[in-house]
Amino acid sequence: VRTGNGYDVHQLVPGDGVTLCGLFIPHDQMLSGHSDADVALHALTDALLATCGAGDIGDHFPPSDPQWKGAASRIFLEHAAGLVRARGGTIMNADVSLIAEAPKVGPHREAMRRNLAEFLGISLDRCSVKATTNEKIGFVGRREGIAAIATATVVYRGADA
């Protein structure tokens, strides 16, 4: 069994909403980035890649590559999940902590978990989405950005206990 972590952050700029865990939430700011800037899926993509030492999201999907402009980040996550499976891995669970002053994540948690379950092809009880503010301090507290911390646990056939 192997566990990987992931961390990502994107800047908030004036806009009409943010995409988190593949879900669009209306808001008076948007996340800035080359793709849809879904920090949650980016962090989780990194956590999955980490379980088999397969580099990071910037490696697989360079921000300099025009084909990923505005891309839905589920593409990145599904790619990582496919790569894990191709190496004999079974995804045990996936967990994301969103660190954001706003918008509120709670009302959208279940829809976000369902997205993770669909993108990863695992059961809902293995998918977790949590959220906290940064209590008004730091770059998150000043609403300059949203951060995400992810964890993924994978058992590799043959290789692992």
Q: Which residues are near a copy of itself by CB under 8 A?
A: 1-11, 32-33, 46, 49-56, 58-59, 90, 92-93, 95, 97, 99, 106, 109, 113, 124-128, 130-132, 134-139, 141, 144-145, 149-151, 153, 155, 159-161
DSSP letters of 77-146? HHHHHHHHHHTTEEEEEEEEEEE-SSS--GGGHHHHHHHHHHHHTS-GGGEEEEEE--TT-HHHHTTSEE
Least distance from C-beta 97 to a copy of itself, angstroms?
A: 5
Say if strands 145-156 and 89-99 run parallel, antiparallel, or are unpaired.
antiparallel
Least distance from C-beta 24 to a copy of itself, angstroms?
A: 20
Is the dihedral angle over the CA atoms 10, 43, 99, 104 positive or is it negative? positive
Least distance from C-beta 142 to a copy of itself, angstroms?
A: 9
Report what 84 binds from Mg ion, a copy of itself, none; CB cut-off 5-8 Å by kind.
none
Ramachandran category for residue 91: left, alpha or beta (phi over 0 → left; psi -120 to 50 → alpha):
beta
38 scored as a contact of Mg ion (CB under 5 A):
no
Report what 131 binds from Mg ion, a copy of itself, none; CB cut-off 5-8 Å by kind.
a copy of itself
Least distance from C-beta 133 to a copy of itself, angstroms?
A: 8
